[in-house]
């Protein structure tokens, strides 16, 4: 039973996300502010 979550990236982070090593990708995963 897999758990998945959407990652919403700031516009300037797309290339960094796509080229990040797996251990670096966790740094992109933050809670999205409820007021946005």
- Domain boundaries of the chain, sorted by first residue: 1-29
Tokens describing residue 9: 């990236």
Q: What is the pLDDT of residue 7?
A: 84
Q: Is 36 helix (H, G, I), strand (E, B) or coil?
A: coil
Inter-residue contact 28 to 21 (CB < 8 Å): no
pLDDT tens column, 1-36: 788 878 888 889 999 999 999 999 889 888 887 887
- pLDDT confidence of residue 1: 75
Report the pLDDT value the prediction gives residue 14, as an integer from 0 to 100. 92
CA distances (Å), origin 5, targets 8, 20, 29: 10, 18, 9
Helix spans in the chain (H): 14-19, 22-25
Question: What pLDDT score was predicted for residue 35?
Answer: 83
Q: Is the pTM of this model over 0.95?
A: no
Length of the chain (residues):
36
């Amino acid at each position: 039973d897999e758990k998945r979550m959407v990652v919403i990236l700031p516009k300037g982070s797309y290339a960094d996300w796509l080229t990040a090593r797996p251990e670096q990708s966790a740094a992109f995963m933050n809670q999205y502010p409820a007021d946005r």
